Amino acid sequence: MEYNIALVPGDGIGPEIVGSTVKVLEAVSEKFGHVFNFNTYLAGGCAIDKYGEPLPKITIDGCLASDSVLLGAVGGPKWDHLSGNSRPEKALLGLRKELGLYTNLRPASLQPALAESCVLRPDIAAKGFDLMIVRELTGGIYFGNRGRNEAGDTAFDTESYSVMEIERVARRAFEIARKRRRHLTSIDKANVLESSRLWRETVHRLGASEFPDVELDDMYVDNAAMQIIRAPSFFDVIVTSNMFGDILSDEASQVTGSIGLLASASLGDSSRGMYEPIHGSAPDIAGKDLANPIATILSAAMMLRYSFDLNEEADFVEQSVAAVLQDGWRTADIKSPSEESFLTGSQMTEKILYKMKLG
Ligand code: NAD
């Protein structure tokens, strides 16, 4: 099969980690006989420098014409003085909007080889965990009506969800649960919020009519924040609103121990998605070959799985990464404090490519 992939490396370490990931995708194409065509576009600070805006039309058109988008990261101190719509980060919101992406997937799993860097109690970390947070991305309080009174001493933000918005993200979460351990936890605050009560009713109605084979339970968001720390192995797939998902996905990623390992996907109605590491452009290490490429490589594995339905290929990439970590290879961000030596980003990429060659 042939796939067109739009590359949006962005700023800081973005070009380094996207470059590493292209090598991994080329190795996949060699082994499995697919053709990946890559086209590179500017977004973020580098686009401001060249075009005077963070998300030029040429980038939007290129991404819309592709089968999927792989993004590095945007932003950096050079553009920190800019405000509002001129900021590099505006490119992310713009791309999500233009591509119609309303679901965000964030896996958080503990690689067994990295249990020692997990911040949880050792007996909890020893059980391991592998959860997927499915977050609604374009509705709720972040996009609701907001304002201040005339005196400016009272402000409000509105959480509002329609059945259609809840159903489409919940359907995606059920489908993902079906491909995993068939357990979905819907997280809300239905003891207080009316929008959460509609959320809960809608998720249950959908589950009963279309996904009776997936076990569904509910959890209040305050309890979920505790359980992610106390018993993360309870969770398989979580579905939740925009704000709750924003907070819980950051919490879940922190308990895994390294930001340089965590991937994400944003999806809409079509198979085209946007795939990116959860970390930023890390200006402090940009250009030093210190960036861990694994989060971006695992984001590409998600692209293979969720946009191209290439599950065997996605498993192969994920297993190759896990095997390199199992062998004890570490970049600076994931080495234990007592270790002196570590791999550069390009050495880590070579280790993964070598594993793929052997596999
Ligand atoms: P950051 O994620 O870029 O960096 C936080 C820390 O983690 C830094 O010490 C960095 O060196 C380290 N780190 C991040 N990725 C790493 C990797 N792959 N390997 C090794 N270490 C890694 O967050 P920040 O410093 O708050 O933000 C820097 C810039 O990135 C800002 O301009 C911010 O707006 C932007 N940002 C962009 C995105 C995005 O594009 N999706 C997300 C977050 C932040």
Range with the poorest average pLDDT among 81-95, 193-207, 248-262, 302-316: 248-262
CB 60 within 8 A of CB 8: no
222 belongs to the catalytic site: yes
Query: Who wins on pLDDT, 286 or 179?
Result: 286
pLDDT exceeds cutoff 90 at 338: no
- As a whole number, mean pLDDT of residues 256-260 equals 80
Tokens at residue 131, please? 């959860």
Q: Which of 246, 275, 306, 333 is catalytic?
A: 246
The CB density around residue 316, as the number of other CB atoms within 10 Å, is 20
Q: What percent of the chain has pLDDT over 70?
A: 100
Report d(CA 138, CA 280) in Å as an integer.
21
Task: Band the pLDDT of 126: cuts 50, 70, 90.
Answer: confident
Q: Is the CB of 77 under 6 A from ligand 1?
A: no
- As a whole number, mean pLDDT of residues 183-204 equals 98
- As a whole number, mean pLDDT of residues 267-289 equals 96
Report d(CA 240, CA 163) in Å as an integer.
14
pLDDT exceeds cutoff 80 at 117: no
Q: Which of 97, 142, 220, 289 is catalytic?
A: 142
Task: Band the pLDDT of 297: cuts 50, 70, 90.
Answer: very high
Report d(CA 295, CA 154) in Å as an integer.
41
Q: Is the CB of 335 under 6 A from ligand 1?
A: no
List 171's β-bridge partners, or say none.
none
Task: Band the pLDDT of 133: cuts 50, 70, 90.
Answer: very high
97 belongs to the catalytic site: no
Query: Ligand 1 centroid vs 280 CA: distance in angstroms?
Result: 3
- Note the pLDDT tens digit of each residue in 28-53: 999 999 999 999 999 999 999 999 99
SS3 83: coil
pLDDT exceeds cutoff 90 at 257: no
SS3 53: coil
pTM of this structure = 0.93
Report d(CA 125, CA 230) in Å as an integer.
10
pLDDT for 127: 87
Q: In a mutational test of the pocket of ligand 1, which residue from 69, 259, 335, 352 has the highest number of ligand atoms less than 8 Å from its CB? A: 259
Q: In a mutational test of the pocket of ligand 1, which residue from 18, 70, 281 has the highest number of ligand atoms less than 8 Å from its CB? A: 281
Query: Ligand 1 centroid vs 75 CA: distance in angstroms?
Result: 9
- Note the pLDDT tens digit of each residue in 47-92: 999 999 999 999 999 999 999 999 999 999 999 999 888 999 999 9
pLDDT for 237: 98
Spell out the residues 6+ positions from residue 114 whose beta carbon is closer than 8 angstroms to its own: 256, 257, 258, 261, 325, 334
Ramachandran quadrant class, 140 (left: phi over 0; alpha: psi -120 to 50; beta: rest): left
Q: In a mutational test of the pocket of ligand 1, which residue from 274, 279, 335 has the highest number of ligand atoms less than 8 Å from its CB? A: 279
- Note the pLDDT tens digit of each residue in 227-240: 999 999 999 999 99
189 belongs to the catalytic site: yes
CATH code, residues 119-255? 3.40.718.10
CB 314 within 8 A of CB 305: yes
Q: Is the CB of 283 under 6 A from ligand 1?
A: yes
CATH class of this structure's domain 1-102+269-359: alpha beta
Report d(CA 153, CA 173) in Å as an integer.
40
Query: Ligand 1 centroid vs 277 CA: distance in angstroms?
Result: 10
SS3 132: strand
309 belongs to the catalytic site: no
327 belongs to the catalytic site: no
Domain with CATH 3.40.718.10 in the chain: 1-102+269-359, 119-255
pLDDT exceeds cutoff 90 at 177: yes
Report d(CA 298, CA 277) in Å as an integer.
8
Q: Is the CB of 18 under 6 A from ligand 1?
A: no
